[in-house]
């Protein structure tokens, strides 16, 4: 990714505008009252990166299309956080404001730097914080001990944040494997 605001940090309206929405009905549990209309929501985002292609998030569990769209959008933000990488101050050795990070990224780093890093999945900031931590771990070769001082957090707090979202935890272990490091547990 190029320098700029990471897509998962974009306002909800911008993500929706850049996604293609497809609706359809789905079969499954719930009997005759489930999804008789096209209430399932499928959002597709073009990453602009040929190796990645499109990213799709879906939600079909609710009977209301609006709720499914909201759920699919939340899932999309997490998928963007896991799939796309952007700049990190660790990759340059410069201070965050010197790297060219967006104001949204600088604000999020400042807000959560030194915090307990305990965010539940309903917290709208979690995908963004997860993105920034994953960007840092990407540049640090998956070593939380190198990233923790930049966040003024313990290594275990960072690992617990990443572990709280299993796809993020798998990504960090893939990064570690690539650098011939043992997996985090």
| pLDDT top residue among 89 and 158 | 158
DSSP strands (E only) in 47-116: 54-59
Which pLDDT value is given to residue 118?
A: 93
Number of H helices, E strands in the chain: 8, 3
pLDDT in tens, 101-148: 888 999 999 999 999 999 999 999 999 999 999 999 999 999 999 999
**pLDDT digit string, tens, across residues 72-90:** 999 999 999 999 998 888 8
pTM of the full structure: 0.87
Q: Please, which residues have CB within 8 angstroms of residue 86's CB and are 6 or more apart in sequence?
A: 1, 2, 3, 4, 6, 105, 131, 135
Tokens of 98: 């010197």
Between 105 and 98, where is the model more confident?
105
Mean pLDDT, the chain, whole residue set? 89
> What is the average pLDDT across 165-177?
97
- 87 sits in the region (left: phi over 0; alpha: psi -120 to 50; else beta) called beta
Residue 116 phi/psi, 5° resolution?
Answer: -65, -15
Domain extents in the chain: 7-81, 89-178
Tens of pLDDT along 20-70? 999 887 665 555 555 456 788 999 999 999 999 999 999 988 888 889 999
pLDDT band at 18; cut points 50, 70, 90? very high
Q: With residue 157 as reference, give the H or E element that holds it.
A: helix 155-163
- The matching CATH number, chosen from 3.90.850.10, 3.40.190.10, 3.40.50.970, 3.30.160.20, for 7-81 is 3.30.160.20
Helix orientation angle between 166-178 and 155-163, rounded to the nearest 10 degrees: 120
pLDDT band at 2 (very low <50, low <70, confident <90, very high): very low
């Amino acid at each position: 990714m190029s320098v700029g605001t990471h897509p998962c940090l974009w306002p909800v309206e911008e993500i929706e505008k850049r996604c293609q929405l497809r609706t359809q009905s789905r079969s499954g549990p719930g009997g005759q009252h489930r999804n008789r209309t096209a209430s399932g929501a499928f959002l597709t985002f073009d990453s602009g990166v040929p190796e990645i292609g499109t990213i799709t998030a879906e939600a079909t569990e609710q009977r209301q299309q609006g709720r499914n769209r909201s759920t699919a959008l939340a899932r999309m933000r997490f998928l963007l956080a896991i799939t796309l990488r952007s700049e990190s101050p660790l990759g340059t050795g410069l201070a965050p404001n010197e790297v060219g990070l967006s104001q949204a990224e600088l604000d999020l780093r400042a807000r959560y730097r030194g915090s307990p890093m305990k965010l539940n999945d309903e917290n709208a900031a979690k995908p963004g914080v997860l993105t920034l931590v994953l960007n840092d771990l990407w540049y640090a070769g998956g070593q939380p001990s190198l990233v923790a001082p930049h966040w003024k957090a313990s290594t275990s707090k960072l690992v617990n944040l990443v572990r709280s979202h299993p796809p993020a935890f798998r990504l960090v272990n893939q990064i570690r494997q690539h650098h011939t490091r043992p997996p985090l547990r």
